[in-house]
A and B are shown apart, each in its own frame.
Chain A
Amino acid sequence: MKSVHLIALLACTFAANAFAASATDASNKPIDIKVLAVPCEACHGKDGNAIADQYPRLAGQYHDYLAQALREYRSGDRQNPIMGGFAKPLSDAEIDALSRYFAAMPSKLHDLSHDEQGD
Protein backbone atom coordinates (compact mmCIF):
# COMPACT_ATOMS: atom_id res chain seq x y z
CA MET A 1 0.00 0.00 0.00
CA LYS A 2 2.86 2.34 0.92
CA SER A 3 4.55 1.72 -2.41
CA VAL A 4 1.29 2.45 -4.25
CA HIS A 5 1.10 5.79 -2.47
CA LEU A 6 4.71 6.52 -3.31
CA ILE A 7 4.16 5.75 -6.98
CA ALA A 8 1.05 7.93 -7.02
CA LEU A 9 2.95 10.74 -5.33
CA LEU A 10 5.85 10.48 -7.80
CA ALA A 11 3.46 10.43 -10.74
CA CYS A 12 1.60 13.43 -9.40
CA THR A 13 4.82 15.34 -8.63
CA PHE A 14 5.93 14.75 -12.21
CA ALA A 15 2.54 15.88 -13.51
CA ALA A 16 2.60 18.89 -11.17
CA ASN A 17 5.94 20.02 -12.62
CA ALA A 18 4.62 19.76 -16.15
CA PHE A 19 1.48 21.54 -14.98
CA ALA A 20 3.48 24.34 -13.31
CA ALA A 21 5.32 24.97 -16.57
CA SER A 22 2.06 25.35 -18.48
CA ALA A 23 0.38 27.51 -15.82
CA THR A 24 3.10 30.15 -15.51
CA ASP A 25 2.28 31.80 -18.82
CA ALA A 26 -1.46 31.50 -18.23
CA SER A 27 -1.86 35.15 -17.23
CA ASN A 28 -1.51 36.38 -20.79
CA LYS A 29 -3.16 33.43 -22.51
CA PRO A 30 -6.79 32.36 -22.46
CA ILE A 31 -7.40 29.40 -20.13
CA ASP A 32 -7.79 26.09 -21.96
CA ILE A 33 -9.87 24.27 -19.36
CA LYS A 34 -9.53 20.88 -21.06
CA VAL A 35 -5.75 21.13 -20.73
CA LEU A 36 -5.85 22.69 -17.27
CA ALA A 37 -8.09 19.88 -15.93
CA VAL A 38 -5.95 16.99 -17.20
CA PRO A 39 -3.88 16.57 -14.01
CA CYS A 40 -7.05 16.73 -11.86
CA GLU A 41 -8.69 14.01 -13.93
CA ALA A 42 -5.84 11.59 -13.18
CA CYS A 43 -7.28 11.08 -9.68
CA HIS A 44 -10.68 12.80 -9.68
CA GLY A 45 -11.76 11.16 -12.94
CA LYS A 46 -12.71 12.58 -16.31
CA ASP A 47 -16.32 12.69 -15.12
CA GLY A 48 -15.30 14.22 -11.77
CA ASN A 49 -16.34 11.16 -9.78
CA ALA A 50 -12.87 10.02 -8.66
CA ILE A 51 -10.97 6.90 -9.70
CA ALA A 52 -10.58 5.65 -6.12
CA ASP A 53 -12.35 5.88 -2.78
CA GLN A 54 -9.80 8.12 -1.07
CA TYR A 55 -10.27 10.90 -3.63
CA PRO A 56 -13.36 13.10 -3.35
CA ARG A 57 -15.99 13.34 -6.03
CA LEU A 58 -15.85 16.85 -7.50
CA ALA A 59 -18.68 16.57 -10.02
CA GLY A 60 -21.59 18.73 -8.92
CA GLN A 61 -19.88 20.04 -5.80
CA TYR A 62 -20.47 23.77 -5.14
CA HIS A 63 -17.98 25.68 -7.26
CA ASP A 64 -17.16 28.15 -4.49
CA TYR A 65 -16.37 25.29 -2.08
CA LEU A 66 -14.01 23.75 -4.65
CA ALA A 67 -12.37 27.15 -5.16
CA GLN A 68 -12.01 27.58 -1.39
CA ALA A 69 -10.34 24.16 -1.13
CA LEU A 70 -7.91 25.00 -3.97
CA ARG A 71 -7.05 28.36 -2.39
CA GLU A 72 -6.40 26.64 0.95
CA TYR A 73 -4.13 24.10 -0.76
CA ARG A 74 -2.36 26.94 -2.58
CA SER A 75 -1.73 28.91 0.61
CA GLY A 76 -0.74 25.80 2.57
CA ASP A 77 -3.61 26.35 5.01
CA ARG A 78 -4.83 22.90 3.99
CA GLN A 79 -2.03 20.39 3.81
CA ASN A 80 -1.86 17.61 1.25
CA PRO A 81 1.36 16.69 -0.54
CA ILE A 82 -0.37 15.96 -3.84
CA MET A 83 -2.90 18.81 -3.88
CA GLY A 84 -0.37 21.32 -2.56
CA GLY A 85 1.86 20.66 -5.56
CA PHE A 86 -1.01 21.07 -8.00
CA ALA A 87 -2.54 24.19 -6.43
CA LYS A 88 0.65 26.24 -5.88
CA PRO A 89 1.04 27.43 -9.51
CA LEU A 90 -2.66 28.19 -10.07
CA SER A 91 -3.87 31.76 -10.59
CA ASP A 92 -7.19 32.97 -9.14
CA ALA A 93 -8.70 32.83 -12.63
CA GLU A 94 -7.54 29.23 -13.12
CA ILE A 95 -8.92 28.18 -9.72
CA ASP A 96 -12.24 29.74 -10.65
CA ALA A 97 -12.29 28.05 -14.07
CA LEU A 98 -11.41 24.60 -12.69
CA SER A 99 -13.97 24.87 -9.91
CA ARG A 100 -16.76 25.82 -12.29
CA TYR A 101 -15.72 23.10 -14.75
CA PHE A 102 -16.07 20.27 -12.20
CA ALA A 103 -19.08 21.82 -10.44
CA ALA A 104 -21.01 21.79 -13.72
CA MET A 105 -20.57 18.02 -14.28
CA PRO A 106 -23.46 15.58 -13.68
CA SER A 107 -23.33 14.79 -9.97
CA LYS A 108 -23.75 11.95 -7.52
CA LEU A 109 -23.46 14.39 -4.63
CA HIS A 110 -26.28 16.10 -2.81
CA ASP A 111 -27.08 18.10 0.29
CA LEU A 112 -28.48 15.91 3.03
CA SER A 113 -32.20 16.13 2.57
CA HIS A 114 -34.69 15.95 5.44
CA ASP A 115 -35.14 12.18 5.42
CA GLU A 116 -31.38 11.69 5.62
CA GLN A 117 -30.66 13.70 8.74
CA GLY A 118 -30.55 10.80 11.13
CA ASP A 119 -33.16 9.26 13.36
Chain B
Amino acid sequence: MPRIVTYRRIVFAGAMLCAMWLGCASAFAADQSKGDPQAGRSLVYTCGGCHGVTGYYNAYPNYHVPRIGGQNYQYIVDALTEYKKGERSHPTMRAQGRSLSIQEIHDIAAYLSSLRK
Protein backbone atom coordinates (compact mmCIF):
# COMPACT_ATOMS: atom_id res chain seq x y z
CA MET B 1 0.00 0.00 0.00
CA PRO B 2 2.73 2.54 -0.77
CA ARG B 3 0.23 4.89 -2.45
CA ILE B 4 -1.98 5.28 0.63
CA VAL B 5 1.03 5.89 2.83
CA THR B 6 2.22 8.64 0.50
CA TYR B 7 -1.25 10.19 0.42
CA ARG B 8 -1.39 10.16 4.23
CA ARG B 9 2.02 11.73 4.39
CA ILE B 10 0.93 14.51 2.05
CA VAL B 11 -2.19 15.14 4.13
CA PHE B 12 -0.12 15.12 7.31
CA ALA B 13 2.47 17.46 5.84
CA GLY B 14 -0.32 19.76 4.65
CA ALA B 15 -1.89 19.78 8.08
CA MET B 16 1.47 20.57 9.68
CA LEU B 17 2.04 23.43 7.25
CA CYS B 18 -1.43 24.80 8.02
CA ALA B 19 -0.73 24.59 11.75
CA MET B 20 2.63 26.34 11.33
CA TRP B 21 1.09 29.04 9.16
CA LEU B 22 -1.67 29.62 11.72
CA GLY B 23 0.91 29.70 14.51
CA CYS B 24 3.02 32.25 12.66
CA ALA B 25 -0.04 34.28 11.72
CA SER B 26 -1.23 34.54 15.31
CA ALA B 27 2.27 35.35 16.58
CA PHE B 28 2.53 38.05 13.93
CA ALA B 29 -0.92 39.37 14.85
CA ALA B 30 0.09 39.51 18.52
CA ASP B 31 3.22 41.50 17.66
CA GLN B 32 1.17 43.91 15.59
CA SER B 33 -1.60 44.45 18.11
CA LYS B 34 0.47 44.84 21.29
CA GLY B 35 3.30 47.22 21.72
CA ASP B 36 6.56 46.71 23.58
CA PRO B 37 6.37 48.18 27.10
CA GLN B 38 10.17 48.43 27.34
CA ALA B 39 10.35 50.52 24.17
CA GLY B 40 7.43 52.55 25.48
CA ARG B 41 9.23 53.25 28.73
CA SER B 42 11.87 55.37 27.02
CA LEU B 43 9.30 57.06 24.79
CA VAL B 44 7.18 58.43 27.66
CA TYR B 45 9.93 60.81 28.77
CA THR B 46 8.21 63.59 26.83
CA CYS B 47 4.77 62.77 28.28
CA GLY B 48 6.10 63.34 31.80
CA GLY B 49 6.60 67.04 31.06
CA CYS B 50 2.85 67.55 31.51
CA HIS B 51 1.35 64.20 32.58
CA GLY B 52 4.05 63.64 35.18
CA VAL B 53 3.34 66.77 37.17
CA THR B 54 0.63 66.10 39.72
CA GLY B 55 -2.05 68.76 39.57
CA TYR B 56 -0.64 70.33 36.37
CA TYR B 57 -3.13 72.48 34.47
CA ASN B 58 -3.87 72.81 30.79
CA ALA B 59 -4.15 76.51 29.94
CA TYR B 60 -7.03 78.02 27.95
CA PRO B 61 -9.29 76.30 28.65
CA ASN B 62 -8.17 75.50 32.19
CA TYR B 63 -8.46 71.91 33.30
CA HIS B 64 -6.16 69.33 34.83
CA VAL B 65 -3.91 67.42 32.45
CA PRO B 66 -5.41 63.90 32.60
CA ARG B 67 -3.93 61.01 34.51
CA ILE B 68 -2.67 58.50 31.97
CA GLY B 69 -0.70 56.04 34.14
CA GLY B 70 -2.75 52.82 34.30
CA GLN B 71 -5.14 53.87 31.52
CA ASN B 72 -6.42 51.14 29.18
CA TYR B 73 -4.21 50.05 26.26
CA GLN B 74 -6.61 50.37 23.35
CA TYR B 75 -7.98 53.69 24.58
CA ILE B 76 -4.46 55.18 24.61
CA VAL B 77 -3.77 53.79 21.13
CA ASP B 78 -7.03 55.30 19.86
CA ALA B 79 -6.43 58.67 21.55
CA LEU B 80 -2.88 59.07 20.21
CA THR B 81 -3.96 57.89 16.75
CA GLU B 82 -6.77 60.46 16.73
CA TYR B 83 -4.29 63.20 17.66
CA LYS B 84 -1.92 61.94 14.95
CA LYS B 85 -4.68 62.15 12.34
CA GLY B 86 -5.83 65.56 13.59
CA GLU B 87 -9.18 64.18 14.77
CA ARG B 88 -8.71 65.50 18.30
CA SER B 89 -8.06 69.17 18.71
CA HIS B 90 -5.41 69.68 21.39
CA PRO B 91 -2.47 71.46 19.63
CA THR B 92 0.34 70.05 21.79
CA MET B 93 -1.05 66.53 21.67
CA ARG B 94 -1.53 66.76 17.89
CA ALA B 95 2.13 67.66 17.52
CA GLN B 96 3.07 64.73 19.77
CA GLY B 97 0.82 62.37 17.80
CA ARG B 98 2.33 63.48 14.49
CA SER B 99 5.84 62.84 15.79
CA LEU B 100 5.03 59.22 16.72
CA SER B 101 4.92 56.18 14.46
CA ILE B 102 2.06 53.69 14.79
CA GLN B 103 4.50 51.25 16.42
CA GLU B 104 5.65 53.90 18.93
CA ILE B 105 2.00 54.64 19.80
CA HIS B 106 1.48 50.95 20.56
CA ASP B 107 4.68 50.85 22.61
CA ILE B 108 3.62 53.86 24.69
CA ALA B 109 0.17 52.34 25.25
CA ALA B 110 1.76 49.05 26.32
CA TYR B 111 3.92 50.83 28.89
CA LEU B 112 1.28 53.21 30.28
CA SER B 113 -1.35 50.48 30.58
CA SER B 114 1.15 48.25 32.40
CA LEU B 115 1.66 50.79 35.18
CA ARG B 116 0.04 50.06 38.51
CA LYS B 117 -0.59 52.45 41.31
Min CB distance, A119 to chain B, in Å?
5
Q: How many residues of B contact A (CB 8 A)?
A: 39
Would you call B75 and A110 a contact (CB within 8 A)? no
Do A116 and B66 form a contact, CB below 8 Å, given A55-B75, A78-B89, A79-B87? no
A53 at the interface (CB under 8 A from B): yes
Q: Knowing A78-B88, A78-B89 touch, does A53 contact B51 (C-beta < 8 A)?
A: no
Contact B52–A111 (Cβ < 8 Å): yes
Interface: B96 (CB within 8 A) = no
Choose among A55, A56, A110 the residue that contacts B69 (Cβ–Cβ < 8 A): A110
Q: Mark A97-119, 1 if CB is under 8 A from B, else 0.
A: 00000000001111111101111
| Size of interface on A: residues with Cβ below 8 Å to B | 30
For B117, the closest partner residue in chain A by CB is A110
Contact between B72 and A61 (Cβ–Cβ < 8 Å)?
Answer: no
User: Among the listed stretches A18-26, A28-36, A62-70, A87-95, which one makes contact with chain B, having 4 or more residues with CB under 8 Å of it?
Assistant: A62-70
| Interchain pairs with CB closer than 8 A, number | 103
Q: Are A116's CB and B44's CB within 8 A?
A: yes
With an 8 A cutoff between CB atoms, is B99 at the interface?
Answer: no
| Residues of chain B lying within 8 A (CB to CB) of residue A112 | 44, 47-48, 51-52, 68-69, 112, 115
Contact across chains for B75 and A54 when beta carbons are under 8 A apart: yes
Q: What are the nearest 3 A-B pairs in CB distance?
A: A118-B45, A117-B48, A62-B64
Interface residues of B (CB under 8 A from A): 41-48, 51-56, 58, 61-75, 78-79, 87-89, 112, 115-117
User: Contact residues of A with B, CB < 8 Å?
Assistant: 50, 52-57, 60-62, 64-65, 67-68, 72, 77-79, 107-114, 116-119
